[in-house]
Chain A
């Protein structure tokens, strides 16, 4: 079905189910309970999970398949964002033209940068992409201010031409992004007793795009083109000997991943119409690398999980403070409670980067395949136990365990 084999189809359906039910799955705790702060089902975070998922899926097409480590992909995301805002300034608040333009422009720029950078490989390629991205960032921050808004970011105003839309609403305010008349920021809250779930237009719009992006990625992975990219990773020399030139293939992968990044950037401004230069900083490029590795580079589902995990940690761990931790350990004796809080203190709240760094070092050291490999190992463990006949509870391992990575 849909040109997918059975395993891939199952994976695709799981992703769709996750996307559809995310507002409910991510809000498992009642609003009034103390655990409510682990809820992730609010529009801003859900949109981020999806958008960075798309970004990581695209990055994985380059890094996961060909092994080329780009340290400059955030630049394409930024370019996508700026293009998106400009479309909303010039044409219309409908996000569809903005998204299309974002993808096209990011694709064009990545063609240019990819063409130059791919003349080198290994760390030289990484440094080249890093250098280009830093140039974009620095220029966007300074001399390109008329185009990028500089430090304040590029935002909409009531003076924008918007030839196919209104300059300002009846109240004299700036119009909000829409998709064919439906407000992106529109949200409905469903209250089920103590639980409340927010259904937002913006999130479901982004989720549909993500489903399409994921489907496309699966098709690319399974195509002869995908095989060719993998050949680039495993042995470029052998490929050269067989008379195949790997450059066009890697360039195509680079451009595709650049377009994914542009799409993610466009979606970001469709949800919140302001584009700041910081999203192009090299550490932002580093973040998508982290997402991909953490989830499992070269696997289909890995980047989505990695992106989800990092953005979740960023939003949730960073808001846990000492008083919350005191709450957790309240039943323990005082001295133990205080010791535990002191030990945990550097890892939560503002220190969430420390948690991230440690998790990352551990994953690279012990689990080079990321979450997906971890899931597989766990799954194997259960299977082996079951075959030995001493495992009464079968396969409760994570869903990732069942995914054939490649």
Chain B
């Protein structure tokens, strides 16, 4: 029982990341009709926003401390970050400590800019081209983006600790009537889940309760008619690209304490999030979220040793297996609409 609860928590956690990435992917597809293979790269860029801000906070000046020696016996060079010098050691330390959550503010404008630049600079020329061309050009773009990051930050994963207040685990079990230590879950992962829920809620609320969102939803349903009504749908769609980019970026920012960011994390998540989108139904927002959590939970359960013993290797292929089965039996995915990409 404890294990099952824990695996559901794990699944929700993985699912949060999948859902956030897939949400933006399906949004772009639903509104603009573009298959964006560079979407994983946006997730990765978000994570590197956090890395960048952390680096900025850690900019230091050097001073020699003659009382201490380094490993070679020379006087030790001590680095003091500017923030600590300016705001005092304690305040400076907490600023660095909280760099991941603070990166949210930093990442929103940057990701919005990257999203718009990507759409205006490249992708808008591909609206009329076949899907194969869109896949190819965005695939190329994804390679370029990840290589640029690699050129700046190297190939190694960069550890990004969560704020000290969120390190350690929450004894879930004691709280709901199990033994102590039976269900422990790291605080930060709970935060991530909550954060994902808020972002997903915000996107849905935005689309439902604003005029802007209404137009966009109408455009997703029937682009031509909305265009005939004299509404400049394109302008709004650019904004959708920015929103999708922000959502993916934020998913990346908050994921850094869970998984040290590296330049190819975008490609690693890309395939999975595509599968999520397809399982949920291309262009269906609800589908993407539901499928994200569903696949996250399935994947967690498949990693349990009891199940691996029963079906060896299932933890490795479960996601793809689900994708194949869904595509063959329900080609529109779980919640897809008729007529999307069936040509």
Contacts and interface: CB of A to CB of B under 8 A. Distances in A.
Q: Do chains A and B touch in the complex (CB under 8 A)?
A: yes
Interface of A: 67, 69, 116, 119-124, 126-128, 130-132, 134-135, 138-139, 141-144, 282-283, 286, 289-290, 293, 346, 350-351, 353-354, 356-358, 360-361, 364-365, 368
B143 A120 contact: no
B271 interface: yes
B150 A351 contact: yes
Please classify the interface of chain B as helix (H, G, I), strand (E, B), loop, or mixed, using the class held by over half of its residues: helix
A123 B312 contact: no
A357 B141 contact: yes
Contact of A365 (B125, B143, B320, B324): B125
B133 A368 contact: yes
A397 B316 CA distance: 50
B341 A135 contact: no
A135 B319 CA distance: 9
Size band of the interface chain B makes with A: 35 or more
7 contacts: A67-B132, A123-B135, A124-B278, A135-B317, A138-B316, A289-B136, A361-B141
Contacts of A123: 35, 131, 135, 278, 282, 341
Contacts of B35: 123
A134 B271 contact: yes
A354 B144 contact: yes
B271 A360 contact: no
A127 B135 contact: no
A143 B312 contact: yes
B291 interface: no
A135 B147 contact: no
A94 to B, nearest CB: 34
B323 interface: yes
Nearest to B342: A122
B59 to A, nearest CB: 22
B313 A130 contact: no
Which has the most chain A C-beta neighbours within 10 Å: B143, B148, B150, B312? B143
Interface string B299-313: 000000000000011
Given A122-B343, A123-B131, 10 more contacts: A69-B135, A116-B328, A124-B331, A127-B327, A131-B323, A134-B317, A139-B317, A290-B140, A293-B136, A354-B143
A130 B143 contact: no
Contact of A361 (B131, B137, B282): B137
B274 interface: yes
B205 interface: no
Contacts of B91: none
Contacts of B147: 346, 351, 353-354, 357
Contact of B343 (A121, A289, A290, A357): A121
Contacts of B142: 357
B254 to A, nearest CB: 26
A141 B315 CA distance: 12
Contacts of B321: 131, 135
A131 B326 CA distance: 12
Contacts of A138: 313, 316-317, 320
A126 B136 CA distance: 12
B18 interface: no
B302 to A, nearest CB: 12
B313 A127 contact: no
Contacts of A364: 133, 136-137, 140
